[in-house]
Amino acid sequence: MSVERGRRSVATIGAFDGVHLGHQYLVGLVRERARARGAEALVVTFEPPPMKVLHPDRFMGRLCTPEQKTASLLAAGADRVRVIPFTPETAALSPEEFMTRLSEEDGLEHLLVGADFALGRNRAGDAVRLAEIGHDLGYTLEIVQRVNLGDDTLSSTAIRKAIADGDAERARRLMGRPFRITGEVVHGKKLGREIGFPTANIEPPADLVALADGIYAAHAWLADDAAPRPAITYIGKRPTVNTGPRVVETHLLDFDGDLYGQWIAVDLLERIRPDAQFPSLEALIERMKVDEAAAREILAREG
């Protein structure tokens, strides 16, 4: 395929799972360089994540859905996001083959990558090789050094660890926004309604990063909301009532309505406490009242 008539691009390439602050910084540079050249700011990414295909035993789960990733990359400054299906055949391409296709199809003029970036079969396309290929294909290469946030490393791995540890605040700090769970509200055991805390139950994407059990202050969004709704989210197996599989349940504060079948997004702001088993249903209800008060205090700070 030849380049679309008149198309010229400045690009970056990567998995961009979570589109954290480091990714956003990189995309902002791409936009800046593209505007200086009068070119398109292009982000090239892959689905599914390469780690899931190449090393499924080491894949720790994704930080966002493909749709969330594309939306976040566009919000960070990309004019276009090109999603390339990642298959064993894609992984087998040499750096020369991959970059030739990208150059021909997208009019690549300038490429920005991180210092430790590599692509192609056996990761042969490191910065040195990509610069050599660029000399032949007519694009220039710019190396962008990793950025940190204070003492924190801006990386998808660090965010996964924060989420696994229940540290929603750290995950939000590194991502530049709260970690989000989305899904359709499904029927549950309806125990929450019986004890005065009706919940919207969702089934997160199967390959989402593992979530730490516990009670979280949260923001909830319904499909047409212009502002978040205050909420409290529970993740766990409900050990006090022993109702079986792990669940994600969100109680919308000061809300009364039927949410079944609706789409909902839940932003985890801060974990109030880990999951726990209580000696009775009455003890659980009393603790839930304490948790709700704590959530309201956190949400009040959020404005």
| Pairing status of strand 140-144 against strand 108-114 | parallel
pLDDT for the residue 4 = 56
129 and 48 in one domain?
A: yes
136 and 41 in one domain?
A: yes
pTM summary value: 0.90
H or E element that contains 110: strand 108-114
> By the 8 A CB rule, do 125 and 101 touch?
no
Whose CA is closest to 295, among 265, 258, 270, 277? 270
Q: Is 111 exposed, middle or buried (0-12, 13-18, 19+ CB in 10 A)?
A: buried
Residue 23 lies in a domain: yes
Residue 278 lies in a domain: yes
197 and 68 in one domain?
A: no
pLDDT for the residue 242 = 66
Q: What is the CATH number of the domain that holds 96?
A: 3.40.50.620
Q: Is 40 tagged catalytic?
A: no
pLDDT for the residue 195 = 58
237 and 113 in one domain?
A: no
> By the 8 A CB rule, do 221 and 182 touch?
no
Q: What domain range includes position 36?
A: 9-152
Calculate the CA 217 to chain-centre distance. Answer: 19
Residue 72 lies in a domain: yes
288 and 215 in one domain?
A: yes
287 and 199 in one domain?
A: yes
Residue 78 lies in a domain: yes
111 and 32 in one domain?
A: yes
99 and 26 in one domain?
A: yes
* Mean pLDDT per 10-residue section of the chain, whose length is 303 residues: 69 96 97 98 97 92 95 98 96 96 96 93 93 97 89 89 96 96 82 68 89 96 94 89 79 90 96 92 91 96 85
Query: What total of structural domains would you count in the chain?
Result: 2
Residue 168 lies in a domain: no
140 and 33 in one domain?
A: yes
Residue 169 lies in a domain: no
Q: What is the CATH number of the domain that holds 234?
A: 2.40.30.30
| Pairing status of strand 263-273 against strand 214-222 | antiparallel
Which residue in the list 97, 104, 194, 249 is annotated as catalytic? Answer: 249
250 and 142 in one domain?
A: no
